[in-house]
Every structure is written in structure tokens, then in C-alpha cells.
Amino acid sequence: MEHFPFTSEEAVDICEDFEDLADTDYNLMKPQAYIIHNVVTCPYNEDNRKLFIENYHRTKDQQEAIYFYKGNEFDVLVFAYDADDDTRYTVVDIRTYTETLGIRYHFPGTARPDHG
């Protein structure tokens, strides 16, 4: 299924809906024990997303990590750290996270018309 970007408002709303995941176990296809640090808004574009992830890992602050981004297309990431080594982390977008765990959630934009 093709994923569309979220608006800033949609991404913030999704983060709020999933904020209770923080400090819970995260073991999606990972043998190590990870703990979810946060659910965060990030740039949708892959290059900007990579820079955001680097910034977030360094600062652990969503606002500081996204300071550089001036775009208007967003995604939401689940950011988790190894329980024994905070230099190791894993990141997954929220749609993949919910699909993998079978969580039913109606994401905005899932039924957008074709812009052909």
C-alpha cells in the first residue's frame, strides 16, 4: 500500500494518539530488548528523514532535531533504544508499526484521490 505524507497537524495528532507507547517494550523483529523513547513527527522525504533521525539520536529532542526542515510533508516515527545500550536504536514509521502489530487505526489520507 502506498503511503502518503501527512500534514503537520495530522502528524502531531497521530503522535498524540500514540504518545502512550513511550517507555514501553518494543520487540518488532529484534532479538534485543528495545524501549520506545518517543513517537515523533519527522520529514516525509527520505533524505530529510535521515538527517532528522541523526539529529534526534544526537539530541533526543524532536523540536531540535527538525529545526532545519522547512517543508510541509511529514511522517511519524516510533523511535526506540536498546534497553542496555543507548547508542543502539531502531526506527520504524507508525504505519509499519501498526500494520506489524495488527493495530487498527484510521490514518488520515489513506483514501486520497488519485492526483494523476
Q: Where are the domains of the chain?
A: 8-101
Q: Please, are residues 10 and 18 in contact by the beta-carbon 8 Å criterion?
A: no
Per-residue pLDDT of the chain (116 residues; tens, 9 = 90+): 567 899 999 999 999 999 999 999 887 665 678 899 999 999 999 999 999 999 999 999 999 999 999 999 999 999 999 888 888 899 999 999 999 888 999 888 654 444 43
Q: Give the pLDDT of residue 7.
A: 96
At CA 20, angle to CA 84 and CA 51, rounded to 5? Answer: 65
- Sheet of 25-26: strands edge to edge? 25-26, 34-43, 74-82, 89-93
The span from the CA of 49 to the CA of 11, in Å, is: 14
Rounded Cα–Cα distance for residues 1 and 72 (Å): 22
Q: What contacts 66, CB < 8 A, 6 or more positions away?
A: 41, 42, 43, 52, 55
